[in-house]
Amino acid sequence: MRRLVQFSAAAVIAAGALSACGGASGGSGSGGSGGFSSSSSSSSGSSSSSASSSSSSSSSDSGLVPAGYHLVWSDEFNGTGLPDSTKWSDDTFANTYDPANGELQYYTAARLENDQQQGGSLNITVRKEDMTGSPDYAGQHYSSARIITRNKADWQYGYFEIRAKLPCGNGTWPAIWMVGSAGSWPKDGEIDIMEELGRDPNTVYGTIHDNFNQGHNGDGTAHSIADACGSFHVYQLTWTSERIDIGVDGTIYDSYVNAHTGYDQWPFDGRQYLLLNVAMGGSWAGAVDDSALPRSMQVDYVRVYQQ
Respond yes or no: is residue 190 known to be catalytic.
yes
SS3 (DSSP) at 97: coil
Q: What residue spans of 159-287 are helical by DSSP H?
A: 282-285
- Catalytic residue status for 195: yes
Please tell me which residue in 76, 103, 161, 190 is annotated as part of the active site: 190
Catalytic residue among 76, 161, 195, 196: 195
**Rounded to whole angstroms, how far apart are CA atoms 124 and 143?**
10
Cβ atoms of 23 and 207 within 8 Å: the answer is yes
Report strand pairing: 251-257 vs 37-38.
parallel
Length of the chain as a residue count: 307
Q: Is it true that the peptide bond before 294 is cis, omega within 30 degrees of 0?
A: yes
Could you give the CA distance from residue 21 to residue 6 in angstroms, rounded to a whole number?
Answer: 7
Alpha-carbon gap, residue 23 to 21, rounded angstroms = 7
DSSP per residue, 201-213: TTEEEEEEE-TTT
Q: Which residues belong to the active site?
A: 190, 195
